[in-house]
Structures are given as C-alpha cells and as structure tokens.
Amino acid sequence: MGKATATTVLALALCSAALLLLAARPLDAAACNPAALSPCGGALFGRAVAPGCCVQLKAQQPCLCQYARNPAYSSYVNGPAAQRVANACGIPKMKC
C-alpha cells in the first residue's frame, strides 16, 4: 500500500470513527444526527460530492453551528474542504 493510500485510509477511518462516536452520544436536538452526514465523507477528502451529501447537508444545516462548536467535529466543519462541499451544495457560509 502506498503512502498516499495509507494516509487516505487512515483519514477515512478517523472520520468514520468520529461519526460513530457522535452517533452514540445523546444529541442536544432530536433532529441533529452527525452520522447522517456520512455521504459527505468522501468529499471532505477530495472526492466528488455524492448526490446524497447535499440532501443530508441541507437537512442538517440547522445543526452545523452545534457541530462546529464540538471539538470532535470542528476541524471537519470549519475546514476548507467543508466550505468547498457547502459551496457545491449551495449552502451559505455559517454565521454562528
């Protein structure tokens, strides 16, 4: 396995683990479910935005500030890749 492939696999594993941890924790709002954003995982690592990603991102839009304040997710939500995905889905920049 090449170094780039190993790094990608590790990054995807960490993202998946983070999503699972948040899904296992009680959520502040019943509608907020960070695991629902899993279709966007590949896009955060340079892949194309999956069709289901924008649907889920728009459904979870009211929760994005909550996720941005959570140390487990803030680097994903506040990072440049997340802004690229949000732009691709037509989601305006968050004002938290």
Sequence ranges of the domains in the chain: 3-88
Per-residue pLDDT tens listing for the chain (96 residues)? 555 443 333 333 334 434 433 444 444 445 899 999 999 999 999 999 998 999 999 999 999 999 999 999 998 889 999 999 999 999 998 888
Whole-model pTM: value is 0.64
Write the DSSP symbol of residue 92. P
pLDDT of the residue at 69: 95
Distances (CA, A) of 85 to 1, 20, 88: 28, 21, 5
